[in-house]
Amino acid sequence: MKVTTMLGTLGAGMLLGTQVAAAAPFGGEEDTAYAASLWNALSEANLVGEGRTMSAPYTGQHPHGAILDTIDGEITVEGTTGPVIIKRNYGGEGVSKQEVWDAPDDYLGAVTVMFKREGYDPDNQDWFWVKYLPGGELDTNPQGVPLAGRVAKGMDQGCIACHSAAPGGDMVFGHDRIR
């Protein structure tokens, strides 16, 4: 699609991002508001932010990061209680398991979360997907769409496409995490 306006490149990109957000099955106002509530619940449970509970760092893989730290539990968000899986994604020059253990904030690139919301998306095991930047702001895809909600539903790449390949039909790769 060719956009010819006086907006310039940045303005056209913002316009296209808005159009893509409106058409995507994720990243809308309802998803971003819920993602903010989810971050608050995670923060109150000391699962994100300063002073968060950590697990042992381990070697990761694309798209999450060179080193990962994964923790799970159960939280309540807007009256819904369900299982949550938090994966902290670390990278950068000199990153190693030991460096992450010693100074996690120096290497934290993103926090990816799966929260099970009963009745939310039965086709995909009711998972709400979200990718945060280290401070709790929502990350976006290259088109500027916030990565929250039914991320990449129906697409060839993204959270749902990748996790659909998880054994067991629950979209979780570590089956001992959620029962």
Arithmetic mean of pLDDT, 87-92: 94
163 within 8 A of 174, measured Cβ to Cβ: no
User: What distance in Å separates the CA atoms of residue 81 and residue 1, rounded to the nearest whole number?
Assistant: 43
pLDDT band at 163 (very low <50, low <70, confident <90, very high): confident
- pTM to 2 decimal places: 0.81
Mean pLDDT of the chain: 82
Residue 44 has pLDDT above 90, yes or no: yes
If you compute the radius of gyration of the chain from its CA atoms, what whole number of angstroms results? 17
Residue 7 has pLDDT above 50, yes or no: no
Q: Where are the domains of the chain?
A: 8-163
Of residues 126 and 6, which shows the higher confidence score?
126
104 within 8 A of 50, measured Cβ to Cβ: no
26 within 8 A of 149, measured Cβ to Cβ: yes
Residue 147 has pLDDT above 90, yes or no: yes
pLDDT band at 159 (very low <50, low <70, confident <90, very high): confident
Q: Torsions phi, psi of 130, nearest 5? A: -155, 145
